[in-house]
Amino acid sequence: MTAGDRGVAVVTGASSGIGAATARRLAAEGFRLVVGARRMDRLAEVADPIRARALPLDVTDVESVGRFLAAVTEDGPIHILVNNAGGALGLDPFEMADLERWRWMYGANVLGAVWITQGLLGALEESGDGRVVLVGSIAGFQPYPGGSGYNAAKAAAKAAFEVLRMELLGRPLRVTQVDPGMVETEFSVVRFGGNTVRAGQVYEGVTPLTADDVADCIAWAVTRPSHVDIDQIVVRPRDQASATMVHRRS
């Protein structure tokens, strides 16, 4: 590391939304970024201006994750890992839930984050002050009708990373969960299979969080002194009191 260089930060799912904003923000804070996602054209748009290393990554694919981990760890210690890749598919009622969608949500939001973290813990520990961030969701502890598959996945990720914090006690590693409410990104477009009209209705009459608002929380958490562990940040728009209580202006 050189003066003014705060080390390496890895962000998964950095081609849009919260991941892209977090990569930009951490670069501005003085970290060297390594970013991963499936859409390489979109990833390059984020990576090039901040001189980040852009690597293809599908967190649900064994070979892709293997190649990503090998490339990331070849350059030595890692200071920050932001597990952000993920999302929701559909709003299916439990009774008619499509289990393939559940499988994807569990794979991306839970197993993907666990897998990447397992693979990078050694390099994070080597930094002497490794920080792991999980981008969870209020959906992980406030279930809502139609959300069962996504609620279950985010709840599972939350439990797994709480256990990780306990198991890492005594080692130079911290674990932070950042759980946002409504953030206007491509999240709802993906959830509704590309239907932008339906996605737009989610934010109608509401001032949602922006991806930068969440990046701000992540940047704050990972730049606290080494002895300070921020366990969890719950961040919602002022217009949202819970997963199901939203104030809409007509």
Give residues in contact with ligand NAP (CB under 6 A): 12-19, 37-39, 42, 57-60, 84-87, 108-109, 135, 137, 180, 182-183, 185-187, 190, 211
Q: Which is nearer to ligand NAP, 7 or 87 (CB)?
A: 87
Backbone conformation region of residue 194, classed left if phi is above 0, alpha if psi is from -120 to 50, else beta = left
Q: Is the dihedral of CA 195, 197, 198, 199 positive or negative?
A: positive
Dihedral, 111, 122, 215, 192 alpha carbons, nearest 10:
-20
Angle at 239 between CA 238 and CA 243, to 5 degrees: 105
SS3 state at 18: helix
Is 203 among the residues known to form the active site?
Answer: no
Q: Which is nearer to ligand NAP, 168 or 218 (CB)?
A: 218
Q: Which is nearer to ligand NAP, 13 or 130 (CB)?
A: 13
Question: Contact, 166 vs 121, CB < 8 A?
Answer: no
Structural tokens at position 17:
């939304």
Of all residues in the shown chain, the one whose CB is closest to ligand NAP is 17
Task: Please state the closest distance from residue 219 (CB atom) to ligand NAP, in A.
Answer: 15
Q: Which is nearer to ligand NAP, 57 or 81 (CB)?
A: 57
Backbone conformation region of residue 7, classed left if phi is above 0, alpha if psi is from -120 to 50, else beta = left
Task: Please state the closest distance from residue 56 (CB atom) to ligand NAP, in A.
Answer: 9
Task: Please state the closest distance from residue 54 (CB atom) to ligand NAP, in A.
Answer: 11
Which element (helix H / strand E) includes 33? strand 32-37
Task: Please state the closest distance from residue 224 (CB atom) to ligand NAP, in A.
Answer: 21
Structural tokens at position 206:
């509401």
Q: Which is nearer to ligand NAP, 20 or 124 (CB)?
A: 20
SS3 state at 162: helix
SS3 state at 193: coil
Task: Please state the closest distance from residue 17 (CB atom) to ligand NAP, in A.
Answer: 2
Catalytic hit among 106, 144, 150, 203: 150
Active site residues: 150
